[in-house]
Amino acid sequence: MLLEFIAVVCAAFAAAGIALVINHLSRGRLPTWTMPFAAAAGIVGMIIYLEYTWAGRVENALPPGVVIAQQNTHTAWFRPWSYIFPLSNRITAVDHRVTLRHQAQPDLVLTGVILQERWALNFGVQVIFDCANARRMDVTSATRFTEEGAPEGGNWFRLSPEDPVLREACEGGDHGGHEG
């Protein structure tokens, strides 16, 4: 956040500097509001750039084996351009580096899911996906596994068979999915 603040301040000074040079070259013919307007335009432009490149920067920073399965987008009245180009503000990634399967339960996948939201700390959870029945269970301290590898002590949540996180967990990684 500090680096983004520094980038915004630098953009303001750069835009104001460009206005100053243009004013100097035009022998002072520009209105007096040109430099503050240029600084404000630099700030707004940099903020828009940082907002729209956030998801790509997060994706590029992910280690190999961590794949973005879903990006949430939103619009807001105070960002009128977001109605034309929705803004990505949340990412759900599957961490295939920790994916486990049990031989006796081939339809169950235990993996890590990373939830990252703009301006928030990322948060990881262990999740069991039932690929055959399109459902998931969050692993908690109450979750136990039988000798056959079946989970007990948790609540199953029904998912759409087309849920992108379910599909990535079941088909991605070393199981025929894609990276990036």
Q: Which two tokens stand for residue 88?
A: 């990505």
**pLDDT tens for each residue of the chain, 180 residues long:** 799 999 999 999 999 999 999 999 999 899 999 999 999 999 999 999 999 999 999 999 999 999 999 999 999 898 888 899 999 999 999 999 999 999 999 999 999 999 999 888 889 999 999 999 999 999 999 999 998 889 998 899 999 999 999 999 999 855 433 344
Q: How far apart are CA 48 and CA 87, in angstroms?
A: 10
Instruction: Give pTM, 2 decimals.
Output: 0.79
For residue range 34-45, what is the model confidence (pLDDT) as tens digits? 999 999 999 999
Spell out the residues 6+ positions from residue 173 whose beta carbon is closer than 8 angstroms to its own: 65, 67, 94, 96, 99
Gap between the Cα atoms of 166 and 163, Å rounded: 5
All structural domains of the chain, each given as residue ranges with its CATH number in brackets, are: 2-61 (no CATH), 66-175 (2.40.128)
Query: Where does 16-122 show beta strands of DSSP type E?
Result: 66-74, 87-102, 105-117
Is the CA virtual torsion 120, 70, 103, 128 positive or negative? positive
Alpha-carbon torsion (47, 53, 59, 62), positive or negative:
negative
